[in-house]
């Protein structure tokens, strides 16, 4: 984490589960932070951390840097260029927009161009993790855009994320994040298939996943997802609908770059099935239930405490 002074007057747009946790890290670091969210009540908790709440996105135009963290490309365009959007008052524009959303390279390039026309710098900075990962200080970020702009805001980025990777000019960060989320879905489906295979053969999900996590194939992600798989807790951290959006972006990127993505295409159908099955508002770990149903297996929670791998990190944070 950088020790550089966090002197930049900062704005934040979008305080869903992820945005709230990320903005809170800046507020707790002593950053001068002003926040707007379409549903004001979701931003209200940040006031207790020293943030100022504003009535519309355009009110953040006097800030040095404004972060955006929203769900879709349409949302991003709306908060920047829509009615009362951040960039709608030519007399009051921020110095830099840092977008942490997951959007296509094409949409990002269009918004970068719109910012450039107004004299506003634009950095793409999507992230890997969820709100609990943010709180534990384990979030990772990938950024692309002008190198000087990146260096200017890097101290802020490093108070949000434990790791920040710069990929260079343009929209490389968008492609990296999309590719990352394809792995996220594919690995989760692989965990679901193999956990069901083990259980149908008489091995508990806990025992199988304990072995997997302690092997060379284990990862921060497989360990983090294990409690949901063992106890069937599908409290949403990332929904099948959001994962479907990212798979759509990935398949479109594959077509555009002439890269076959057979595993992605197969997993995309399974993600779609979880959306169609009435589980769209739960965590995408519901892929496990769909795999079990296809295998003639009825799952029950195992009712045992399982470490998600974040507890020690949370205590340190």
- Span 17-53, pLDDT tens digits: 999 999 999 999 999 999 999 999 999 999 999 999 9
Comma-separated ranges of CATH 3.40.50.720 domains in the chain: 10-170
Q: What is the mean pLDDT of residues 192-211?
A: 98
User: Can you tell me the distance from the alpha carbon of 261 to that of 243, in angstroms, rounded to the nearest whole number?
Assistant: 16
Domain 10-170 fold is Rossmann fold (3.40.50)
Comma-separated ranges of CATH 1.10.1040.10 domains in the chain: 175-316
The SS3 call for residue 13 is strand
Lowest mean pLDDT among 95-99, 136-140, 189-193: 136-140
pLDDT band for 7, please (50, 70, 90 cuts): confident
Q: What is the average pLDDT score of the chain?
A: 94
Question: Per residue in 238-292, pLDDT tens?
Answer: 999 999 999 999 999 999 999 999 999 999 999 999 999 989 999 999 999 999 9
pLDDT band for 3, please (50, 70, 90 cuts): very low
Give the pLDDT score at 302. 97
Give the pLDDT score at 311. 67
Would you say the C-alpha torsion 35, 38, 41, 45 has a positive or negative sign?
Answer: negative
pLDDT band for 122, please (50, 70, 90 cuts): very high
Give the pLDDT score at 6. 63
Question: Per residue in 287-311, pLDDT tens?
Answer: 999 999 999 999 999 999 999 988 6
Class of domain 175-316: mainly alpha
Would you say the C-alpha torsion 126, 287, 194, 211 has a positive or negative sign?
Answer: positive
Percent of the chain residues past pLDDT 70, beyond the cut:
96
Give the pLDDT score at 5. 45
The SS3 call for residue 261 is coil
Provide the H-helix boundaries in the chain.
17-28, 40-43, 73-81, 105-117, 131-135, 147-160, 172-200, 205-214, 220-231, 240-257, 262-276, 287-294, 311-316
Give backbone dihedrals phi and psi of 222, rounded to 5 degrees, phi first. -65, -35
């Amino acid at each position: 984490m950088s020790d550089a002074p966090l002197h930049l007057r900062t704005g934040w747009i979008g305080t869903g589960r992820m945005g709230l946790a990320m903005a809170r890290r800046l507020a707790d670091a002593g950053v001068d932070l002003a926040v707007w969210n379409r549903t004001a009540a979701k931003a209200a908790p940040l006031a207790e951390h020293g943030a100022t709440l504003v009535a519309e996105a355009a009110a953040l135009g006097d800030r040095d840097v404004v972060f955006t963290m929203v769900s879709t490309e349409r949302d991003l365009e709306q908060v920047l260029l829509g009615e009362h959007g951040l960039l709608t008052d030519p007399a009051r524009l921020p110095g830099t927009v840092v977008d942490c959303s997951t959007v296509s390279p094409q949409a990002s390039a269009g918004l970068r161009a719109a910012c450039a026309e107004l004299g506003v710098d634009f950095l793409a900075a999507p992230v890997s993790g969820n709100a609990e990962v943010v709180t534990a200080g384990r979030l990772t970020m990938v950024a692309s855009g002008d190198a000087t702009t990146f260096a200017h805001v890097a101290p802020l980025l490093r108070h949000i994320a434990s790791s920040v990777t710069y990929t260079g000019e343009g929209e490389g960060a968008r492609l990296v994040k999309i590719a990352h989320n394809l792995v996220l879905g594919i690995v989760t489906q692989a965990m679901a298939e193999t956990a069901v295979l083990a259980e149908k053969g008489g091995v508990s999900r806990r025992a199988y996943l304990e072995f997997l996590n302690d092997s060379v194939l284990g990862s921060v992600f497989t360990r983090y997802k294990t409690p949901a798989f063992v106890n069937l807790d599908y409290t949403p951290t990332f929904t099948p609908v959001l994962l479907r959006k990212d798979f759509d972006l990935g398949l479109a990127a594959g077509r555009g770059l002439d890269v076959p993505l057979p595993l992605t295409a197969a997993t995309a159908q399974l993600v779609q099935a979880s959306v169609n099955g009435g589980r769209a508002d739960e965590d995408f770990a519901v892929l496990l239930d769909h795999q079990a149903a296809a295998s003639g297996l009825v799952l029950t929670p195992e009712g045992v405490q399982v470490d998600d791998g974040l507890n020690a990190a949370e205590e340190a944070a």
